[in-house]
Amino acid sequence: MGWLEGRFEESVITTSLEQAMNWARESSMWPMTFGLACCAIEMMAVGCSRFDIDRFGAGAFRATPRQADLMIVAGTVNFKMASRVRRLYNQMPDPKFVIAMGACTCGGGPYYKYGYNVVKGVDLVVPVDVYVPGCPPRPEALLEGLMRIQDKVRGMKDLTKEQPIDVPIPSRSGYVLLPPELSDPVKADAFAKKNKELATPAKG
C-alpha cells in the first residue's frame, strides 16, 4: 500500500480496489442450480448443513444463469444436453467459472468406452476452470474445488474479466500443502504430461 499505510486511524483499512473487488467476488460465488446425474446428489449434500457450502459464501444457488458466477457441472453430460450446457454458459455474466464435478464431466468416466451418447468430458463443450474427479467426489472434494476457484478469483488481475490462465496450479495461501511433484508449475506440467502418457488408451 506504500505511502498510504499508517497515515490513518487504526480503524481505517486501506486496500487496492482490485483486491477489494476480488475479495468481495470470492466470498460471494453464486453457483447455478444445475444437476445432471448422480453427482448432483452429492452437490446437494454440499449445500446442506453437514458440509455447508455457505461457509465459503457459495450457498446461494441461483435458478437462472444470469445471476450466477459459478457453474458446477454435476453429472453426465450427453450430446443432447451439451448444447444446452453451452447455452447456459453463454448466458452467464462475466467473470464466470466452471467446476467439472465427477469423472463423467472430467472425461467420460464410466461411460468412456461404451457410452455412445456421452460427451467425453465437459471441457469439449465449455472451458473448465477446476476439475473435481471422483465418482462421485466426496463433498469435501467439491469444497476444495470451490476453494481453488476462490484462489483463482484472488489472483484475477483485471477488474472486469480475464482470469489468469498462465498459472496452471493456483497458488494457495495455506490449508493444503501441494505434493512435491506439483509444487511448482514446471514440475506440475511434467507430472501432467506423464499422467497423460500413462492414461493413453492401449491401441486395438
Binding site for ligand SF4 (CB under 6 A): 37-39, 75-76, 102-104, 109-110, 135-136
Select the residue interacting with other proteins from 7, 50, 55, 80 (CB under 8 A). Answer: 80
State yes or no: residue 62 binds other proteins (CB under 8 A). no
76 binds, among ligand SF4, other proteins, none (CB under 5 to 8 A by kind): ligand SF4
From 1-9, 21-29, 34-42, 76-84, give the range in contact with other proteins by CB under 8 A.
Answer: 76-84
**Distance of closest approach, residue 143 Cβ to other proteins, in angstroms:** 30
**H or E element in which residue 154 lies:** helix 139-154
State yes or no: residue 100 binds other proteins (CB under 8 A). no
Strands (E), the chain: 70-74, 97-101, 130-132
**Distance of closest approach, residue 74 Cβ to ligand SF4, in angstroms:** 7
**Angle in degrees, 0-180, between the axes of helices 17-26 and 139-154, rounded to the nearest 10:** 160
124 binds, among other proteins, ligand SF4, none (CB under 5 to 8 A by kind): other proteins
Which residue, 165, 176, 143, 18, is CA-closest to 70?
Answer: 143
**Distance of closest approach, residue 42 Cβ to other proteins, in angstroms:** 25
Q: Residues 6 or more apart from 173 whose CB is under 8 A from it?
A: 151, 154
* Cis preceding linkage at 170, omega within 30: no
State yes or no: residue 138 binds other proteins (CB under 8 A). no
Number of residues this chain uses to bind other proteins (CB under 8 A): 10
The residue assigned the cell 448422480 is: 38
Q: By C-beta, is 6 or 201 nearer to other proteins? A: 201
CA atoms of 108 and 114, how far apart (whole Å): 10
Q: Which three cell numbers stand for residue 97?
A: 467459472
From 14-22, 43-51, 116-124, 131-139, give the range in contact with other proteins by CB under 8 A.
Answer: 116-124
Measured from the Cβ of residue 86, the count of other Cβ atoms closer than 10 Å reads 14
Q: By C-beta, is 107 or 155 nearer to other proteins? A: 107
What is the chain's alpha carbon radius of gyration, rounded to the nearest angstrom?
19
**Distance of closest approach, residue 130 Cβ to ligand SF4, in angstroms:** 15
* Cis preceding linkage at 185, omega within 30: no
Binding site for other proteins (CB under 8 A): 79-80, 82-83, 116-117, 119-120, 124-125
